[in-house]
Amino acid sequence: MDWALVLAVVAIIVSVLLTYWRTVSGRKQKEILEQQLANQREELVLLRQLVHSFNVLTTSYDKELESMRNQLLLTSGKPTEEGEPVDEAT
C-alpha cells in the first residue's frame, strides 16, 4: 500500500472526527446558551415583579405619609405647603 494513500485516509478520518467533535461541541454550547437565556428570562420576570411590588409599596408609604402629614397639620392648624389651611373634610 502506498504511504500517500494511507496518509490521505488518515487525514480524511481525522477531518471527519474533528467535524463530528465540533458539531457535538456546538450543540452542547447551543444547549448551554439556550438554558442561560431561559434563566435570564426567568430572572427578568422576577425582577419586573420585584420592581412592581416596590413601586406599590412606595406608593402606599407615600399615601400614608401624606395622610399623617395632613393629620398633623389639622391638629396644629397650620397651613399646607400651598399656603391654604387643610380642609378637615378630606
pTM for the full predicted model: 0.54
Please state, in angstroms and rounded to a whole number, the distance separating the CA atoms of residues 90 and 88.
6
pLDDT in tens, 2-57: 989 999 999 999 999 999 999 999 999 999 999 999 999 999 999 999 999 999 99
pLDDT band at 76 (very low <50, low <70, confident <90, very high): confident
Which DSSP helix (H) or strand (E) runs through 1? none
Please state, in angstroms and rounded to a whole number, the distance separating the CA atoms of residues 11 and 17.
10
φ, ψ for residue 85 (rounded to 5)? Answer: -65, 150
- Asked if residue 74 lies in contact with residue 88, where contact means CB atoms within 8 angstroms, the answer is yes
Residue 66 pLDDT more than 90?
yes
Q: Kindly tell me the number of DSSP H helices and DSSP E strands found in the chain.
A: 1, 0
